[in-house]
Structure 1
Amino acid sequence: MSEAVLQASGLSVVHRTPAGDVHALSDATLEVHAGEFVVLIGPSGAGKTTLLHVLGGIQPPTTGTVRIGDVVLTEAPERDVDRVRRDDIGYVFQSFGLISALSAEENVELPLRIRRADPGERAERVAQLLERVGLADHAKQRPTELSGGQQQRVGIARALAGSPRILLADEPTGQLDSHTAASMIELIASIARDDGVAVLLSTHDPSIRSRADRVLELHDGVLREGAVHAVASP
């Protein structure tokens, strides 16, 4: 089996409220390997976004550890967490998360500017990525001039700009019609298959599980392995 680039153990997230503790995650343990397409499935409110935020170093867990490569995010100083988020993790949002004042190519270029990449290298990388996601002819258009599916493709290209080892995709098809969603899943699956990226994609859509190498199910904060193909009821 390929290298486990993302490992998490005993993750719990507890929110203290006047009415009592709310367990958004309860003792979740998982790993994702290079080139693996893992689908995290569960209903809205199950804790999927919380789990991805913890894995991506956006939110600390109440207990547990997250390791990416040689770095334990939950124990590392902030500068190391920032470096891992910048260099090793790509994040795709359900709401696209594009900057409306920037063109498609400028949105994709943004992570490379933050990394102070050479301008020539930036331009070449952006062109390659827009070609990869099928938007080479839309480089100069702003998000408001693009369809929802095109905006999400820009978001994927931006997430890949820094050549991450891990791609975390949070309900990336949630705002798309079924045909556009299917093409988006094929694109994301190809990123794992062809680029060797470890992909973890969350969804509430059970039809996506058939595209996965492995399925994880999350219900009320409890994570468990799920079947890749849905089993019909007798």
Structure 2
Amino acid sequence: MSETALLHATGLSVVHKTPAGDVHALAEATLTLEPGEFVVLVGPSGAGKTTLLHVLGGIQPATTGTVRVGDVVVTEAPERDVDRVRRDDIGYVFQSFGLISALSAEENVELPLRIAGADPSERAARVTHLLERVGLAQHAKQRPAELSGGQQQRVGIARALAGSPRILLADEPTGQLDSHTAEQMIELIRSIAHDDGVAVLLSTHDPSIVALADRVLELHDGVLRAGAVVSE
């Protein structure tokens, strides 16, 4: 087991019971995520990519296996400890953006900090910093409907970073974006890994993203295989 890894997952399986028999969404998946690493997860639709990210993020339980984030075994810990890990250690970026339509960009980013009980002045400074980080300082007061798809995803990334997570899980974050905007999103997420030391795991169907990865993981029919190191 790596001593520097931020996340360790061992033997993860997810089995769904159906009238036709057991369906293995994940089968004995094992991986680690290191600080500052940009890892890309590839595989066809239905391969289990979203399931894997949900289990790693404590959103969905595993049938068997363990996920450890720091000193917390997420797959075995009480719900209050899992909530703390989700709040403090893991950021999640969704393909569908997941923004609250009634809130402005800055209010969407601020929401996790409000839930965490952060001091108002600290919240304001953090939100300002994050919107600047994702290039949206001039759009802080706009609501999602007033933003382009790329801008909405930037808000989603800023919100995911609000709690200063050590791990960022991104589930098809460019799936609804045009190729130019998608390229900008990937460069932003990659810089979050390399410049900020965050461990990033990003799932995608886009083969062009693979060339930018530090490491590639391949998922087929629930079976996870390690790809080669791609970039230095």
Shorter-chain-normalised TM-score: which range? over 0.9
Cα distance change of structure 1 residues 54 and 96 upon mapping to structure 2, 3 Å threshold: same
State the SS of the aligned residue for 1:180.
helix
Asked if 1:222 is matched to 2:223, the reply is yes
| Matched ranges for 1:101-120 at <5 A | 101-120=102-121
Structure 2 Cα separation of the partners of residues 133 and 188 of structure 1: 10
| Matched ranges for 1:1-234 at <5 A | 3-228=4-229
**If the length of structure 1 is used for normalisation, what is the TM-score?**
0.96
State the SS of the aligned residue for 1:4.
coil
Question: What amino acid is the match of 2:179?
Answer: S
What displacement does 1:141 show?
0.3
What displacement does 1:198 show?
0.5
Structure 1 Cα separation of the partners of residues 24 and 3 of structure 2: 32
Question: What amino acid is the match of 2:81?
Answer: D
5+ residue gaps, structure 2, are none
Structure 2 Cα separation of the partners of residues 83 and 133 of structure 1: 25
| Structure 1 residues 50-93: Cα deviation after superposition (integer angstroms, max 9, x where no partner) | 00000000011000000001110111111100100011000000
What displacement does 1:181 show?
0.4
State the SS of the aligned residue for 1:141.
coil
State the SS of the aligned residue for 2:6.
strand
What displacement does 1:204 show?
1.1
Structure 2 Cα separation of the partners of residues 50 and 9 of structure 1: 15
Question: What amino acid is the match of 2:202?
Answer: L
Q: For the Cα contact (< 8 Å) 1:96–1:152, is it kept in 2?
A: yes
What displacement does 1:227 show?
3.2
What displacement does 1:2 show?
7.8
5+ residue gaps, structure 1, are 230-234
Structure 1 Cα separation of the partners of residues 208 and 228 of structure 2: 12
State the SS of the aligned residue for 2:97.
coil
State the SS of the aligned residue for 1:90.
strand
Question: What amino acid is the match of 2:87?
Answer: R
| Structure 1 residues 163-209: Cα deviation after superposition (integer angstroms, max 9, x where no partner) | 00100000000000110000100000000001100100001111101
Matched residue pairs, number? 229
Question: What amino acid is the match of 1:154?
Answer: V
What displacement does 1:144 show?
0.3
Structure 2 Cα separation of the partners of residues 193 and 4 of structure 1: 15
Structure 1 Cα separation of the partners of residues 177 and 3 of structure 2: 32
Structure 2 Cα separation of the partners of residues 111 and 129 of structure 1: 13
Q: Which stretches of structure 1, 4 residues or more, deviate above 6 A after TM superposition?
A: none
Question: What amino acid is the match of 1:121?
Answer: E
Q: For the Cα contact (< 8 Å) 1:103–1:141, is it kept in 2?
A: yes
Q: For the Cα contact (< 8 Å) 1:209–1:228, is it kept in 2?
A: no
Range 96-105 or range 199-208, more displaced: 199-208
